[in-house]
Amino acid sequence: MDYTIDGTTKRYVSSEECAYPDYMPKRSDLYQYGCEFEFYIDKKKYVYEEAIDAITRELQLLTQADILVDITSIPKAADKNRCMQIKPDISLDDHGVEISIPISTKEGVKHYIEVITPIIKKYGYTNDETGFHIHISTLQTDGKHIDFYRFMLLCEDENLLSSWKPRVGYSQNVMDILSSQTKQQARVIKTKKGTIWNLEKIDAHHIEIKSIGGVNYHLQSERITAEFEVYANLFSEAVGEMTQRHKRVLKKHKEKIDKIPLTSKQEFVRALGESGILQ
């Protein structure tokens, strides 16, 4: 496979052999999406570098985007978000890797879930440290306001934020502070590795969702796809007008807040600030 190199990053130009659409959002689209697959290369079966080369070859048949490959650092190319990326993940150990898809449509994310999870099964494995991250943002950065707090409450109402086994230290539900989890426990874990909250506001128009993951998460592609669809629909709701359902969820949340101790309220507000939800 031919490639150019920039620093430690190899760029493989998109292959004409790919038979799939490019899944790039159009200007008329309201939202754009992305996702990241964290996993470990199975070093009992593969040499790490050889596995990365093999994965790259397979991905060339699955995407019309260029592929950036870097086994030592994060790619810095100006167009990296328009590329497929294979890169190290700072929250994982030495043979951990992350595949990040190019900015896509909703159908694109579903395509990549379907075709990348078998690659993980072939070359690697997933454990409590690994996860699947979803990115959703508005295509235009002016005009519509996103109510991230409402989005969080809607996700909790759908039981999305706690539907997977908690991955302590890698993905914690900020809403758990209102029940059994404490920020003191979380703060100790956070010093080790990774960002801890499973919802993180990246900027005023962009949310990252880290609730999905754990041992063998890659074997549950249908479940991942179904939850992604719900997250995408709820994001759209958080942009729109307040509905009766939203008012009901907000009222239920307020009643819960009113019943908890002041210290828990303070920890909850602190966590919302860390995750960016209240910024």
How far is it, in rounded angstroms, from Cα 227 to Cα 135?
Answer: 13
Query: Cα-atom radius of gyration of the chain, to the nearest Å?
Result: 19
d(CA 1, CA 11): 10
Nearest-CA neighbor of 99 among 77, 78, 124, 79?
124
**Tens of pLDDT, residue by residue, the chain (279 residues):** 899 999 999 999 999 999 999 999 999 999 999 999 999 999 999 999 999 999 999 999 999 999 999 999 999 999 999 999 999 988 888 899 999 999 999 999 999 999 999 999 999 999 999 999 999 999 986 666 789 999 999 999 999 999 998 777 777 887 887 765 444 444 444 434 445 789 999 988 999 999 999 999 999 999 999 999 999 999 999 998 899 999 999 999 999 899 888 888 888 888 888 888 876
Q: For the chain, give every domain's residue range.
A: 4-275
Task: Please tell me the distance from the alpha carbon of residue 228 to that of residue 134, in angstroms, as a whole number.
Answer: 8
